[in-house]
Chains A and B, each alone.
Chain A
């Protein structure tokens, strides 16, 4: 990559990261409703989609309070992607078999494709968009970059979310075999497993 171009992007303020960061803030704010809008939403809850009442969900997503009206059938995965515009969470199998949709609910790794959005009221949801500290990548993200722990990248957000909770919520793995066993719910169709294991082994050394 031409370093001059990088500098140019930096000056114009439209580098990829800044652009995505700006989009994230907007995405987190858009679904928030003020008091009046919330009352309207509650009223809308009595309205029907396919003849059934929609459900008003109040949760925290990546640290920001979110109020959103959903169809009772909507999964957390579809709600994140389609209503909250958080498309980092990927839809792989949509059947709880691949792990691409892994997010954290109250700090624990779960599958957003098998979680009904309607059941998430009162809970804290963290997605891949909520991992970095501003411009500073989470150590797990950094390790995946440094070890090239991916090929096509589609499973990567799920791999990273799963690995972060594996270390933070459940405790570091003591061997590579243990990493493989504890990460077995995240399938990589490109089979980048050796480098995924390398990344997790390194990242867990620097994670608190």
Chain B
């Protein structure tokens, strides 16, 4: 690990004082400490933000508010989350391990870095880690990599399970800097790699995530997260699907659908949502709606299975959700 100075901040203001591109904020540390050991991340200053008053899980008329420092395990266990946003709790419970969920914060989860093996290995070229050095994954071991939103410079997949139901539900991220606060939709918070894969989101170096708001949605209570992976537990997604349906009589009146494991960012599937809406909640509808879910996918040597697996994952999620009614 490279040397850095360490400080504990007691307020958001104190944490942001002097913060810049050389600063890393420490919450759960599950990404930061790991990547500092690998020297993938080399901050000169580490500011411990765990004492900041960025906690709380509250539900009101506007929706669900979660403080950035709430831990994954606490959010997953919260009765209001489980009852009103089941796919959020499920995505959390299917993430990582119990120890990591006790440590990792919600803000940190949204900012976790890709699991691309070349990004994590400083001896190989990687445009995300070292802009302009090249992408080793294009012709390398790319089984876990993205097929949607990729570029010629980067095909790293976004690793967060939580972010998948959150983009489906139009979640808003709250940010603070020394100059004030702003709120950004999570869907546009993440940027596509393009020619600058080192830039992953619109967060500025002197900005901090303070919390998120998941809008109140009647259909969110009828939702499901399905994750497909190489082993049953403690593994990242090959594909995943977050689905929420509002069904009146036999007709789907609202649908929210997003996918994980396939995109360079959590992938909202608005075309699938449109194809479901106004139609009967039957397997024929589900099969027809997902036909074009992976349109535009650019598979590589080892992940060519992902478009088909994504369609099946979506159908399974929609079917299981409908059968659970």
- What's the interface size class on B, roughly? 20 to 34
* Residue B103 at the chain A interface, CB threshold 8 Å: yes
- Contact yes or no, A184 B234, CB < 8 A: yes
A52, CB-defined interface residue at 8 Å: yes
- Whole-angstrom CA separation of A102 from B102 in the bound complex: 12
**Least distance between B187 CB and chain A CB atoms (Å):** 29
Q: Is A82 an interface residue (CB 8 A)?
A: no
Are the C-beta atoms of B34 and A73 separated by less than 8 Å? no
Decide: B98 and A52 in contact? CB cutoff 8 A: no
B33 within 8 A of A: yes
- Of the residues B1, B3, B34, contact of A114 by C-beta under 8 Å: B34
B29's closest neighbor in chain A, by CB? A114
The reply to whether A115 and B103 form a contact with Cβ atoms under 8 Å apart is: yes
Interfacial residues, chain B to chain A (CB-CB below 8 A): 1, 3-6, 8, 26, 28-30, 33-34, 36-37, 46, 48, 50, 73, 96-100, 102-103, 232-234
Q: A94-B37, A119-B29 are in contact. Are A99 and B6 (CB under 8 A)?
A: no
8 closest Cβ contacts across the A-B interface? A185-B97, A72-B6, A184-B233, A50-B3, A184-B234, A73-B1, A114-B33, A108-B102
Give A residues with C-beta under 8 Å from B. 49-53, 55, 72-73, 75, 94-96, 99, 102, 108-111, 113-116, 118-119, 121, 162, 165-166, 170, 180-186
Asked if A119 and B48 sit within 8 Å, CB to CB, the answer is yes
Residue B233 contacts which of A55, A110, A181 (CB distance < 8 angstroms)? A181
Closest to B49 in A: A119
CA distance A135 to B98 in the complex (A): 30
How far is it, in angstroms, between the C-alpha of A27 and the C-alpha of B83 when the chains are bound?
48
What CA separation (Å) do A109 and B5 show in the bound complex?
A: 27
The tally of CB-CB contacts under 8 A between chains A and B is 90
A170 touches B98 (CB 8 A): yes
Q: How far is the CA of A52 from the CA of B46 in the complex (A)?
A: 12
Report the separation of the CA atoms of residues A73 and B150 in the bound assembly, to the nearest whole angstrom: 35
Q: Chain A: which residue is nearest B36 at the CB level? A: A73
A49-B66 Cα distance, complex, nearest whole Å: 39
Helix, strand, loop or mixed for chain B's interface?
A: mixed
Chain B residues near A49 (CB-CB < 8 A): 3
5 A-B Cβ contacts within 8 A?
A53-B5, A72-B5, A121-B8, A180-B233, A184-B232
A166 touches B3 (CB 8 A): no
Least Cβ distance of B222 to chain A in Å? 24
A38 to B1, alpha carbons, bound, how many Å? 27
Report B-chain residues with C-beta under 8 Å of the C-beta of A95.
34, 37
A185 and B100: CB pair below 8 A? yes
Instruction: Compute how far the CA of A27 lies from the CA of B28 in the bound complex, rounded to whole angstroms.
Output: 28
Do residues B30 and A185 form an inter-chain contact, with CB atoms below 8 A? Answer: no
Q: How far, in whole Å, are A182 and B1 apart by their CA atoms in the complex?
A: 31
Instruction: Give CA–CA (A68, B289) in the complex, Å.
Output: 60
Residue numbers in B under 8 Å from A51 (CB-CB): 3
A185: which B residues are within 8 A, CB to CB? 96-100, 234
If A52-B6, A96-B33, A109-B98 are given as contacts, then 14 extra A-B residue pairs at C-beta distance below 8 Å, sorted by A number, are A52-B4, A72-B46, A73-B36, A94-B37, A95-B34, A96-B34, A99-B97, A110-B99, A114-B29, A116-B29, A162-B99, A182-B98, A183-B98, A184-B234
Assess whether B99 is in contact with A102, with CB atoms less than 8 Å apart: yes
B97 x A75 contact (CB < 8 A): no
Contact B3 A52 (CB under 8 A): yes
Contact status A115-B29, CB under 8 Å: yes
Name the residue among A99, A121, A184 with the largest chain B CB count within 10 angstroms: A184
List, in ascending order, chain A residues with CB within 8 A of B50's CB. 119
Most buried by A among B4, B6, B8, B97: B97
Q: Which residues of A sit under 8 angstroms from B103, Cβ to Cβ?
A: 110-111, 114-115
- Nearest CB of A to B96, in Å: 7
Q: In the docked arrangement, what's the CA distance between A51 and B100, Å?
A: 31
